[in-house]
Structure 1
Amino acid sequence: MLASASLVCVAHPAFADQRNRTGTIKDLESREVEVVRDPPTDVTPQQAIEQYRRFLELQSSDERMRAEAMRRLGDLQLEVDESARAVGEETFSGLEVKEAIQLYEGLLAAHPDYERNDAVLYQLARAYEVEAQPEKALQMLDRLVQQFPDSTWVTEAQFRRGEILFSNGRYRDAERAYAAVVAAGPDTGFYEQGLYKHGWSLFKQSQGEESVASFLTLLDRVFIADGKVREQEMLSRPERELTDDALRAIAITFSDLDGPESLDAMLKRRGDPLYAHRLYQALGDLYIEKERYQDAALAYEAFAKRRPDDRFAPSLQMRTIEAYQKGGFASLVLEGKQAFVERYAFGSAFWRERTVQDAPEVAAQLKSTQKDLAEYYMRRHRRRKSRKTTPPRLVGIARCSIPSRRTPKHRARAICSRKSCSSPGALQRPPRNTSARPTTTRCTRSRPLPVTLLWWLTTSTSRPFLANRRRSGIDKASKAR
C-alpha cells in the first residue's frame, strides 16, 4: 500500500505538467528538422542503358513515356560510342551507334507526333556522321530544318548542312546554308564560323569580290574590341587561324584584280577599318611569296600614302624598303629610305601628337635609316672628290701601265691596241707612216709606275712638281723621243 501510494505521489507531478502544457501547430515552425541526406549512387551509362531497356520491356501502355525512354536510350548509346572512340578502347565494337540509329528510326516511325522529334532528327544525323554516312546525315538535317524551322537546333543543323555540302563541292547550296547561319545573328555560337565559311563558299564560286564582304565582317568582329585594334598576341589560336585565312583570301582576290588600286577603291566605298594596314600587309606578303617584289613594295607603300599619319604606316614603309632590297633594286631602296626620312622625321605631321615614348620603334627605324643615308652620301662624296683630284693623264697611266709577269717588276712595257686604249693622252699623235707601223702602238705613258709613286701623284703634294714639269718642257721632250 505504501509503495503504491508513493508511486502515485511521485507520478502525480509529471501528469500535472502534461496537463498544464499548452501548444499549437504554429509552434512547429520554430522547430528544426534534421534531414539526413544519403550519398548519391553512381550509375554508369551502361547501367542506365540496362534500366531503360527493362523499362521499355515492361512499359507498353504510355506511348509518350515510351518515346521519351527510346530517345534517352539512343542518346546514351551514342554517348557511349563517342566516348569509346575518343579514348580508343580495345573493347570498342561500334554496336552502340548502330543500336542508337535503330532506336531513333523506330521512334520517328512509331511516334511521328512526338514533340521532341527535332532533337531526334539532330541526334540521328550525328549518328549517321559517326558511321561515315554523310548523305543520310544530310537527309535528316534537311528534314529538321524543313519540319522544325523554329527549333533550337536549326542553326546548328544549318551549319552542319553547310559543312557536308561544302565537303561535297556543292558550294552554292553550302553558301545558302551558311547564309542562314549568319542570318540567325551573332549570339548563336556559330556566327563567326558561319561568316568564314560563307566567304569561302563564295570564293570557291569565283565570286571573290562578294566574298570580301563576309571576310571583312568577320575581321570587324575579331580584330576590333572596345573601339581599338586587338594586337596579334591578344588573339586566340582559332581566331588567328580564321583571320589569317580570311586575309589571305582577300589578298588573293585583289591580286587578281588591280592590286592596291582595287583595294583603295573598295575601302573608299566601304570606309577604312581600323585594321586597314593588315589588308595591305597581307597583299604585299602574298606578292613576296610570288617573288613580285616591286608589286609588294607598291602594296605596302599604298597604305603609307593613304594614311601617312597612321601608327602602322611607318612599319609598312619599312616593308617597302625591305621588298626593294629582296628584289635587288638599289636605287629604289635609296628612294624608299629618303621617303621614309621625309615622312617621319622629327617635326613632321606624324609626330605632332606623338612622343618618342608613344612610338619608340618608329624613332629607332628613323635613326637607323638616317645613319644609312648619311653613310651612303659620305661614300659618294669621297668618290666624287677622288675623281676631281686625280689628273686625267694619271688615269690613263694607271690604265695602260700594266706590269707583265714575264719582265722585272716596274719595268714592263704595256702595249695597248689602237682601238682598246681609250685613256686620255694614251695615243696623242698618229704615226707619220701608218703603212709602215704595226697595228698596235706603245702608249706614250708606257712605263709602269710603282704603287707608292702612283699614290704620290694622286695627292696634292704632286701638283707643284707637275706644274714645274710642264713649264720646263719635259713633256715636249718626252713626246719628241
Structure 2
Amino acid sequence: MRRLLLVSLTLTLSLSGAKAMAQESFRVELGRDGETIGDMRPVFLEFKTRPMPAISPTEVARRYQRLFDNSDEPEVRIDALNRLSNIQKVTDEDVSFSNEREQQVYRQALDSYESILDRGSYQGRLDELLYQMAKAHAYTGQAEESIDRLRQLVGLYPSSTLVPEARFRIAEAAFSAGDYAVAESEYSRVISGDGAESLKTKARYMQGWSQYKQGPSAWKRAGETFLAVLDRFSGETDSFRRIPTDDAELVEDTFRIIALMAADARGANSLAQWLDNVGGRGYAYLLYDRLADYYASNARYEGSVTVNRRFVDEHHNHPAVPAFLAQNVDVWLMAGRADRAREARADYVTMFSETDRYQTLTDSDRQRWQTFSRSLADYHYDQAEESAGDRKREQFRLAANYYRQLAPRVTGPGEVLRLSGDAFLQAGEYRDALTGFRQAAYDTSGYPGAGDAAWAAVALQRGALDSRYALSATLDDLAVEAERFAEAFADDSRLPGLNADIATRLLAQGRHNDALRFAEAAIAHPAASGQERYSAWLVAGEAFVVGESLGLAENAWRKSLALLESGQLPDKQGKDTESLQRQLASSIYYQGEQAAEEGRTDQAVAHFQRVESALPGSDIAVKGRYDAANTLLKADRWQAAINELNRFRADYPNHELTSTVSEKLVFAYQSSEQPVRAADELMAGAGAETPAWERQLRAAELYHQANAHNRRNRIYVAWLNGAEAALTPPDSGAHIRNQTMRQRLIAADVEPPKYRAELVEQELASRWHSEETLAWAGRAAMALAEVEAVQFADVSLQHPLGPSLEKKQQALESARERLAQAEQLGGDALRSEILFRRAELYRVMAQDLIASQAPADLNELEAMQYQMLLEEEAYPFEEKAIKLHAQNHQRLADGEFDRWVEQSLQVLAKLFPGRYDRDVRWMTWNEESNDGA
C-alpha cells in the first residue's frame, strides 16, 4: 500500500543537519611543543567557519590511527581515539575503523582506560573518560559494564555535558532489557535535564515507546508523549512540510505508533480522546490519516473509511477534508468494492457541491471533484439505460443533477449541459431538461454540439404541444424557441422543416400573419426540401387568402402545384393536385370578385375567364365564365355581356346556370334597346324555369314595344284562344292583361267582333276594372251595338208582318242590349252616342213599321185601316226616339256637346223643322268672361 500520510496529504521533506555542518571547516596542528610524537601535546581541533585546510580529513584520521597503533601511552591512545571520533562526526567521509578493527581497537582501548583509572591521574576530563569507557564496553559487547560506567559518570559528574546522553543510554538499556517502567523513568530524566533538544526529543519518543510497551493501561500516557514529540517537530518543520532527513524516520514512526495504538484501542474514538486531552492539534488530520492508512493496509477497509468520515464530520471546514473523502474512494477500490467507492465519490461531490464550499478547494481537488462528478453522472446514465420504470427515471434524475452541477465548473461545459438536458428529459423533468438544452446551445462558446442541443430544446417544446411531454408549453413558446434557434443556427438544415411545421400550427389557430412569417422563412431557406417548401407554400397560400392578398395566394398555389408536378413529392399526387388546382382556381376567381367590387371591370372579367385555365370544366371555372358575363352586365357593357352569355350557353348547354342565361340575354337585349331580340330570346325558351305562356306573354309585350304587331298578335290569339288563359286564376292583373290583348287585337283588326264581344263579356263578368278596360269594353259594346243596329235596320218588314216583325224586334233587343252594356261600361263618356243610337233604333223601327208592305188582298178601306194601325204601332217608337234625341239635346244645358248631340239635333230638325231646323252657332259658355252682362 502507498504511504497515505506522505503522499496523499502532500507532506514534503527537506534535508538539513549534515549538509549544514559540512559547511564548517577545521585545521589540524601537529608538533607544536616538540619534534617527535612523544613530545607532542594531544592533537586538538579548532572549529571555525572558514575554508577547510589543504590536508584532508582522511589523512588526519589515518595519522591518528597510526598514532593509536604506535603509542604505548594510554592517555595518547585514548586521546587519539577521541580525535578520530570527533573527525568522524564533523565530516561526511568515512574515516572510522572497519567493524572488525573497531572491535579490536576498543578492546585495546579498555586496557588504556583501566590503566588510567588505576593510576588515578589523567590530564583530561574523567567524565569523558568514563563515557568513552562505556562506549568501548558497548562496542565490545559488555553491555552491563557499559551501563555501569554510564551510571558512574552520572553519579560522579551530574553536571557534565555528557550526562544527558549517558542517561539516554541508560534508559535505552532498560528499554532493551524490557524494563519499560524504568526506561520510562530514565527517559523522563533526560527530558527534564539539560541536554540538547534533539536528544530530549529522542528521549520523549522512546519514553512513548516505553509507555506503549507497558500495555493499554499506559497508552493514554503514551499517546500524550508521542503527541509531544510531534508538537516539537510540527513547530520546527512548518507543520511537517520540511522534515530533515535524519528526523524523517522518527517522525514517521511516531505517527505510525500512534495509529497502531489507536487501532488496537478504540480507533478514532481513542485518537479523538488523546487529542482532546491535549487541547487538539493542528496536525490532527495527519494522525487520522495515518490511522486510516493503518486500517487500510491491514484490510480493515470499513474502519479506514470510518476514521476518515470521523475526521470529516468533526472538522467540516478543514483543508484536508477533500483528501480524506478522496482517500475513502481509494480505500474502497483497494477493497474491490466499486459500489462503495461510488458512494464515496458521491460523498465527495455532495460535500463540495455548494459554490462557497467548492471555492475552498485547491485546483487539484477541484479537478478531482469534476472527475468524480462526471464518473457518477456517466454511471447513473448508463444504469438508467439498462433499467426500466421508476428505477430508470430515478437513475436519469441522478445523472442529470450530477451533470447540471458539474457544468458551470468545467471548461467548455456544452456537452455536460446537453447530457443534463437529455437525462432530465428521460427522467420526466422536462422544464429542467429544457434549461439544460438551452444552456448547452446558447450559453457556451465553441461547443460543436450546440446546434443539436438547441434542436433538442425545440423538439421538447414541440413534443409538449403534441402531448408527448407533460410540459406546459404554448405555440408561442415553440415559435420563440424556433426564432432563437434560427438566429443562432441560420444554416441548420432542420430549420426549414421546423418553420414549416410551426407555420402549419399557427394557421390551424387562425394566426395567419404569424403563420405567413414562418412559412416565408421556410421557403427562403436554401436547405429547404421539396416537402418543406410544399408545406410552407400551402400555409402561405391560406394566409394570403385570409389576408385577401389573392394575387400572392395564386402564386403560392402555383408554386405548390409546380412542386407536385416536379416529381419531388410522389406521395402527394392525386387528391392533393386536385385540391391545389381548386385552390388556384378559387384564388383567381376571388381576384375577379375583388376587382368587380372595386369597379375594375376589365380586370375582373379577365380573372373570371382565367379560372378555366386553372381548373378546366370545374364548377368554379363555369361560375367564373358566368360571372364574367354578369360583371359586364353590371357595367352596362351590353354587347360584350351578350356575346359572353351566348358563348357560355354554347359551351355549357347542360349546366344549371345555363337556364338563367336567356333571362340575362333578355335583360341585355332590352337594356341595349333590342326588344325584338329580347322577345325572340323569350320565345326561344328564356327562363325555362318559368311557364312557357308567361315567357311568351313577355315576348308579346316586347314585340308590342317594337311594333312587331303580327308576332305579338299571334301570341295574343294563341293565349286568348288557349285553355291556359281560361285556367289562370282570375285577378286584377290577369283581367287587365287579357283585356289589353283583346283591345290591341281589335285595334289591329284581328277578328274585331269576336274580341269586342269577349272584351265586353269579360269586363261585365269581372270584379276588377280599370278606367281603360271599362272604356275599351264600353267602346266595344258600342261597336257591337252599331253592328246590331245595322243588322236591325237591314231586317225588312214583309207580309205576313208577324214573322218579320218578330225578327226585327229581336234585332232591336240585341241592339238595345249592347247599348245597355255600353252604357253600363262606358258611362258618361258614351252617353251622347248611346242616346243617339238608342233613339235611332226607335226612329228606324217607327219608319220601317209605317213603310212596311200592306197585305195585297185588302180593299182600300181595309188598306187605310191597316195603315192607320201601323201608324198607331209606330207612333210610340217615334215618340221614344224624339224623347231620347231631346235628352241628348238637353245635354247642351250641361255644357256637353259632341257629334252625337249634333246628330240628334239634326234628326230633331227633320222631325220638328219649325223648332229645331234653324241656323244657330253653338258657343261655349264662359261664366268668368260674362261679367254678369
Asked if TM exceeds 0.5, the reply is yes
Residue of structure 2 equivalent to 1:127 = 136
Residue of structure 2 equivalent to 1:159 = 168
Q: Distance in 2 between matches of 1:163 and 1:96?
A: 24
Calculate the TM-score normalised by the size of structure 1: 0.60
Q: Displacement, 1:268?
A: 2.5
Q: Displacement, 1:301?
A: 1.6
Q: 1:320 to 1:147 in 2, by over 3 A?
A: same
Q: Displacement, 1:81?
A: 9.2
Residue of structure 1 equivalent to 2:80 = 76
Q: Distance in 1 between matches of 2:317 and 2:267?
A: 22
Q: Structure 1 residue 361 and structure 2 residue 380: aligned?
A: no
Residue of structure 1 equivalent to 2:321 = 313
Q: Distance in 1 between matches of 2:391 and 2:275?
A: 53
Q: Displacement, 1:79?
A: 5.1
Residue of structure 2 equivalent to 1:197 = 206
Aligned length: 326
Answer yes or no: is the 8 Å Cα contact 2:171–2:187 preserved in 1.
yes
Partner of 2:387, secondary structure, is helix
Structure showing greater Rg: 2
Partner of 1:288, secondary structure, is helix
Answer yes or no: is the 8 Å Cα contact 1:252–1:283 preserved in 2.
yes
Q: Which structure 2 residues correspond to residues 201-280 of structure 1 after superposition, within 5 A?
A: 201-206=210-215, 207-225=218-236, 228-231=238-241, 234-280=242-288
Answer yes or no: is the 8 Å Cα contact 2:75–2:122 preserved in 1.
no
Residue of structure 2 equivalent to 1:36 = none
Q: Structure 1 residue 380 and structure 2 residue 383: aligned?
A: yes
Q: Distance in 1 between matches of 2:250 and 2:267?
A: 22
Residue of structure 1 equivalent to 2:5 = none
Q: Distance in 2 between matches of 1:229 and 1:277?
A: 11
Structure 2 unaligned spans of 5+: 1-27, 43-72, 89-93, 393-933
Q: CA-to-partner distance for each residue in 1:225-248, whole Å, 9 max, x for gaps? A: 48x5232xx222222211111111
Q: Which amino acid aligns with 2:377?
A: A
Residue of structure 1 equivalent to 2:341 = 333
Q: Which amino acid aligns with 2:255?
A: L
Residue of structure 1 equivalent to 2:657 = none
Residue of structure 2 equivalent to 1:427 = none
Q: Displacement, 1:319?
A: 0.8
Partner of 1:334, secondary structure, is helix
Partner of 2:386, secondary structure, is helix
Bigger mean CA offset, 130-139 vs 70-79: 70-79
Q: 1:373 to 1:128 in 2, by over 3 A?
A: same
Q: Structure 1 residue 287 and structure 2 residue 287: aligned?
A: no
Q: 1:342 to 1:386 in 2, by over 3 A?
A: closer
Q: 1:186 to 1:52 in 2, by over 3 A?
A: closer
Q: Which amino acid aligns with 2:169?
A: R
Partner of 1:229, secondary structure, is coil
Partner of 1:196, secondary structure, is helix
Q: 1:147 to 1:113 in 2, by over 3 A?
A: farther
Q: Distance in 2 between matches of 1:260 and 1:189?
A: 30
Q: Tell me which of 164, 168, 180 is aligned to 2:177.
A: 168
Q: 1:185 to 1:295 in 2, by over 3 A?
A: farther
Bigger mean CA offset, 305-314 vs 185-194: 185-194
Q: 1:48 to 1:171 in 2, by over 3 A?
A: farther
Q: Displacement, 1:297?
A: 0.8
Q: 1:42 to 1:343 in 2, by over 3 A?
A: farther
Q: CA-to-partner distance for each residue in 1:201-246, whole Å, 9 max, x for gaps? A: 11122232221112111111113348x5232xx2222222111111
Q: Which amino acid aligns with 2:98?
A: G
Looking at both structures, which has the greater relative contact order when contacts are Cα pairs under 8 Å and sequence separation is at least 6?
A: 1
Answer yes or no: is the 8 Å Cα contact 1:49–1:73 preserved in 2.
no
Q: CA-to-partner distance for each residue in 1:157-194, whole Å, 9 max, x for gaps? A: 11121223322323222222211111125735412211
Residue of structure 2 equivalent to 1:86 = 96
Q: 1:88 to 1:117 in 2, by over 3 A?
A: closer
Residue of structure 2 equivalent to 1:8 = none
Answer yes or no: is the 8 Å Cα contact 1:175–1:201 preserved in 2.
yes
Q: CA-to-partner distance for each residue in 1:309-329, whole Å, 9 max, x for gaps? A: 111111011111222232233
Q: Displacement, 1:49?
A: 6.3
Q: Which structure 2 residues correspond to residues 406-445 of structure 1 after superposition, within 5 A?
A: none
Q: Which amino acid aligns with 1:323?
A: V
Q: Displacement, 1:298?
A: 0.7
Q: Displacement, 1:72?
A: 5.2
Residue of structure 2 equivalent to 1:343 = 351
Residue of structure 1 equivalent to 2:445 = none
Q: Distance in 1 between matches of 2:156 and 2:261?
A: 39
Partner of 1:318, secondary structure, is helix
Answer yes or no: is the 8 Å Cα contact 1:124–1:137 preserved in 2.
yes
Bigger mean CA offset, 308-317 vs 184-193: 184-193
Q: Distance in 2 between matches of 1:287 and 1:190?
A: 32
Q: Displacement, 1:346?
A: 4.7
Calculate the TM-score normalised by the size of structure 2: 0.32
Partner of 1:108, secondary structure, is helix
Answer yes or no: is the 8 Å Cα contact 2:161–2:195 preserved in 1.
no
Q: Distance in 2 between matches of 1:41 and 1:265?
A: 62
Q: Displacement, 1:70?
A: 5.6
Q: Which amino acid aligns with 1:145?
A: V
Q: Displacement, 1:302?
A: 1.3
Q: Distance in 1 between matches of 2:206 and 2:317?
A: 35
Answer yes or no: is the 8 Å Cα contact 1:308–1:350 preserved in 2.
no
Residue of structure 2 equivalent to 1:178 = 187
Residue of structure 2 equivalent to 1:137 = 146
Q: Distance in 2 between matches of 1:338 and 1:40?
A: 72
Q: Distance in 2 between matches of 1:93 and 1:86?
A: 8
Q: Distance in 2 between matches of 1:346 and 1:194?
A: 48
Q: Which amino acid aligns with 1:361?
A: S
Q: Distance in 1 between matches of 2:184 and 2:168?
A: 10
RMSD: 3.5
Q: Displacement, 1:256?
A: 1.4
Q: Displacement, 1:333?
A: 2.6
Structure 1 unaligned spans of 5+: 1-38, 54-68, 390-481
Higher helix share: 2
Q: Which structure 2 residues correspond to residues 35-114 of structure 1 after superposition, within 5 A?
A: 41=30, 48=37, 71=75, 73-77=77-81, 86-88=96-98, 92=101, 96-111=105-120
Q: CA-to-partner distance for each residue in 1:55-92, whole Å, 9 max, x for gaps? A: xxxxxxxxxxxxxx8645423246569989934399x5
Q: Displacement, 1:383?
A: 2.3
Q: Displacement, 1:94?
A: 5.8
Answer yes or no: is the 8 Å Cα contact 1:78–1:127 preserved in 2.
no
Q: Distance in 2 between matches of 1:302 and 1:150?
A: 49
Q: 1:185 to 1:249 in 2, by over 3 A?
A: farther
Residue of structure 2 equivalent to 1:59 = none
